A = this chain, B = another copy of it.
Amino acid sequence: MPRGTTTRRPKTVSALLDAALDLFADQGYGATSIPDICERAGLTKGAFYSNFPNKEALFLALLDRSWAQRAAWIRGALPGRVAPDSPALDRQWTLVSTEFSLHAIRHPEVAARLVEHEARVRAELATLVAEALERAGRVPTIPVDQLARMVVAVTEGSDIQVLTDRAAGGTAHPGLGPRAVSGLLEHYSEPDA
């Protein structure tokens, strides 16, 4: 049982993660410095190095937190839909999560972590897909895990397209992600016999 102050630390960590999320989304991971993060959090480098050994450790912690938050959000938002729509497009999340994918591709030891997380997400999504198809009186013609993979791929690709168009001042359209998803689900299933 430690003796000194322990209640401050969680608040500090949370403030640092909040600040990092904003800055990674705005400037990118590589372009964001540790002093940047501390300043935005209203703290100093002492607080940072007291909680993380370096920037990458904070990146990983940030993703653990974001994954947990988003998983909870998706679990609440998705079920009951006829087809598993893509969850609401979150600009900040898309930017940070995509950048993390790139980071993982460049750093194999990090990639393992990402793949594991994606497998869990896909497993959940696969059951949702299976349920949705069942409600629609259809059965999949390929493994639902492969369907989930396609759904994730097309959704993420579409999100990037939409954000790009939006940044260029294009009219705010919903993107073709949902339509492509429902198309894939219909095409790779058939009416139950």
A residues apposed to B, CB below 8 Å:
26-32, 91, 95, 98-99, 101-108, 111-112, 114-115, 118, 146, 149-150, 152-158, 160-161, 163-165, 167-170, 176-177, 179-180, 183-184, 186-188
**B30, A111: Cβ atoms closer than 8 Å:** no
Q: How far is the CA of A119 from the CA of B49 in the complex (A)?
A: 46
Contact A154/B180 with A95-B102, A98-B98, A164-B105 known, Cβ cut-off 8 Å: yes
Please tell me how many copies of the chain the complex holds: 2
**A161, B149: Cβ atoms closer than 8 Å:** yes
**A104, B27: Cβ atoms closer than 8 Å:** no
A-B contact pairs, 12 of them (CB 8 A): A26-B106, A104-B164, A105-B163, A105-B167, A106-B167, A108-B168, A108-B169, A112-B169, A114-B168, A149-B176, A150-B176, A187-B187
